[in-house]
Chains A and B, each alone.
Chain A
Amino acid sequence: MSSPNITVIDYGMGNLWSVLSALSYLGSNPIISSDPDEIVRADALLLPGVGSFRRAMSSLKENGVDQAIVEAVKSKGIKILGICLGMQLLSEGSTEDGTTSGLGLIHTMTDKFSIEEVGANKIPHIGFDGVWSESNWPLFKGLKNISDFYFVHSYRLLPVGLNGNSATCNYGIDFLAAYEKDNIFATQFHPEKSQTNGLILLNNFLLQ
């Protein structure tokens, strides 16, 4: 089976190597780019993420990568997968470090877990945790309804007003662990760090 060429967006803050190594393992041939022209011509986009929201947005804005992503996804229908911070960047904005606007592709805000919500749990949420999904959803095809994925985050997308497929995880409260709607895919967890479960999910994205 052949996987499409996927463009991994480099904004100086992602855990690039991990993502590339998982994609290569799956037989894909990832291209690393921060060039808006390449981004709007990609077969598929991947927005990785480790870092702070504010820094990430300002670095995406520096050379117009933010607009290129929105154009690619909205006007050209290019599929995108946002991972962790990359998922949060797809939202309307985040309250991390003051309020910062995001790419606005998923119509909800990113907000921090509150101590009340997580109860006895600690923030950040770190480690493998079970994610509930439907096995006929595109990203989760072939996986069990509850599968373990690796999380490391203090912020997450608020689930309000979303009408796509919402996979959930419980950390004191249920929160949005992954989201998919049309050509927009996002995971709060790191599939590239989630053993075979994550590789299956990434492969599902490539085959979309």
Chain B
Amino acid sequence: MLSRNFRLQKVGNLEWLQTNYNFSHISYSIDELIVLDVTREQKSSDEFCSILKKLTEGCFVPIAAGGGIRSIEAARKLLRAGADKVVLNSALYERGEFVSQLASEFGRQCIVASMDFKVGPDGSYQVWSECGSNCINGEAAKWVEQVTQNDIGELYLNSMDRDGTGHGYDLRLLDLLPKNMPMPLILAGGAGNSAHLAAGLSDSRVDAVATAHLFNFVGDGLRKARSSLISGGVALPFWDIQLLDRHLRGE
């Protein structure tokens, strides 16, 4: 599964986004879209929802959205604005029962647990929350284990050190996973070319790879990456854009 992670740095730049990205076009090269509101201060959920709606119009792939979700109502709003799943991060470390409440409301398949990691001064991993502004106490592997015991549908591991570098995934992050990882895993942070995506997917612990790197967003880098993965033997789903056109013309 080839996924894409798109981080909104700042609410209010929708026009720029629409000029530069054609989501409905790009979406034919991805299996899933992740949209995160990573505004650190004063998140406006109404504004984010309206951006999400416009952004995803004509984009017929699953959409996971998140950023600062701490209530059932906030999650419901996103689900009504185009999201199929919600992404939790900071809330994972706050109240364990909130994840269960969300799961009993929307089903656990609706919850993507996203965890951010940095390598600390002593060389071991640290868990970070609040868009990377708050370091969580405790061993990273223990946190991973605890999060996977929650009612979540998928786990998303992001290397903050690699994010945006284009130097490739930090596969060592996968060593933090418990032995019998019960849910699908998405690896994120660092992919800069299709070889990196392939390297991530070739690890048996990885179910999907995500990328926010610009190579995907300009020109047809993403389409090329997808066909290179398919010709390399990765089993990605198939759809035929012409088939729809012919169908709608009644041929």
Contacts and interface: CB of A to CB of B under 8 A. Distances in A.
Interface stretch (A16-24, A61-69, A73-81, A167-175): A16-24
Given A124-B109, A154-B109, A197 B182 contact: no
B60 A195 contact: yes
B232 interface: no
B83 interface: yes
A76 B184 CA distance: 43
Interface in A134-164: 142-143, 148, 150, 152-154
Which residue of B105, B183, B208, B239 has the most chain A CB atoms within 10 A of its CB atom? B239
Interface stretch (B74-82, B195-203, B212-220): B74-82
A50 B237 CA distance: 22
A188 interface: no
A151 B116 CA distance: 26
B250 A124 contact: no
Contacts of B248: 26, 203
Contacts of A154: 107-109
Task: Sort chain A's interface into a size bin.
Answer: 35 or more
B130 interface: no
30 contacts: A13-B105, A15-B80, A17-B53, A17-B56, A17-B82, A18-B84, A26-B248, A50-B110, A51-B107, A52-B103, A55-B105, A122-B184, A124-B153, A126-B207, A127-B184, A142-B243, A142-B247, A148-B238, A150-B31, A150-B61, A152-B109, A154-B108, A193-B61, A193-B62, A193-B84, A194-B60, A195-B60, A195-B61, A196-B28, A203-B248
Given A15-B79, A127-B31, A195-B60, 5 more contacts: A127-B207, A142-B246, A196-B239, A199-B60, A203-B247
The 8 closest A-B pairs by CB, nearest first: A128-B237, A148-B237, A196-B244, A124-B109, A195-B239, A17-B82, A196-B239, A193-B62
Interface of A: 1, 12-13, 15-18, 21-22, 25-26, 50-52, 55, 85, 97, 122-124, 126-129, 142-143, 148, 150, 152-154, 190, 192-200, 203
Interface of B: 1, 27-28, 31, 53, 56-58, 60-63, 76, 79-85, 103-110, 153-154, 181-184, 207-208, 236-241, 243-244, 246-248, 250
